[in-house]
Structure 1
Amino acid sequence: MTTPQDLILVSLDVPGDHPVERGDLSLALAGAELVDLLGARALTLDGERIVPGPALATGDRMLDEAQAALVRTEPYESVEDWLWRRGQGLATAYRDVLDAEGQLSGKRRLWPHRADKAAADTPARRHAADRWWSREPVLTGLAAALGIQGKRRPAEEEPGDEAVVTVLAAVDDAVTELTAVRERRRIENAAFDNIWRGPA
């Protein structure tokens, strides 16, 4: 299983501070793909720029798609730009893949704005749970950006790889930015509704 697959299964299983928004999850999944591609040496980071390496077969269709989507011309793409571009609809794409692979059960649960399936009791789910409960730094760091509960990680448990830390920080910033945009829209819509309602 990949980090994105583990993350989406954890997002279905572990309660958070609030329901996980699909847009937030999509950003985190794009970050998770970068982490796995870094681990496979399919790319490196030059500061915050993603420098693609030679094309490699990862054995996972979604990671291969992510690798194929890397910008291969200088000045290359920033991690932030990658998150926003690659993240478009990514949560739904991963959910569909997991569903097709039998990783989701027929039990219905509420995903924000739609009904969705729960994680099925499979080896993949148990692998994700083991990684979560062992407090693996990358998975818990990505989950923390989504407000998924868990103890804060002691400093010594932070990922040791500077490139991974850069990706996790970018995911956190992007999710914070998206949350702010949603809140701004909510306030603007409420103000608009008040104008149309007029004085009581």
Structure 2
Amino acid sequence: MDGTLVDTEPYWMTAQTTLIEAYGGTWTHEEALDLVGSGLWRTARTMQAKGVDMGEDAIVDLLSDRVMEQISVAVPWRPGAKELLLDLRRAGIPTALVTMSIGRMAEHVRSFIPFDAFDLVVSGDDVTHPKPHPEAYLTAAAHFGAAPADCVAIEDSLAGTASAVAAGVVTIGVPHYLSLEDSGAHVLWPTLDGRQAADVVRVLSDSRTPHR
């Protein structure tokens, strides 16, 4: 979701910086980038290490609230994301939103999509092990009764890509803030703009074709 469907990473970075500075600490862009795509409880522990005197759940809730407030003002859609989702739905392809954001935030973003975009949401509070662990993607595949190799993931982060690849899911990397050159993604797309369901199906088909 964050970075693939909506460009909310700047919102997270702003919320993190504000929280850390409120406790007298400092937060760099490089430190923020290290958290892109990982679970929010890892973020909470990092905030604590930077001097934030709050419990992990309280930090997760506070950061999520602040990002949701910013989304309510302006939803920063990534180019082509909504259009691709709509084409997938028209093609009758089941879809899941697999995110390490908490469920209420995932539903908040989902509420701004003007059609029923997802059959399933797997969020950070639905799993025991966050990305890069494969649990989230394995959970989504199991829900559909599908083998992971028959599923396609679209990811923008190293942690997310690692999660999908470890689950055995065919993975399309769409790099945004971080390079995915050595991420293990099956294919890299510079953008989702102009992409259609047929392009996703082609990636899946190509993954089954032996390469000489």
Please, what TM-score do these two structures have when normalized by structure 1? Answer: 0.27
Higher relative CO (CA 8 A, sep ≥ 6), structure 1 or 2? 1
Larger Rg: 1
Task: Return the structure number with greater strand share.
Answer: 1
Question: Going by fraction, where is helix more abundant, 1 or 2?
Answer: 1
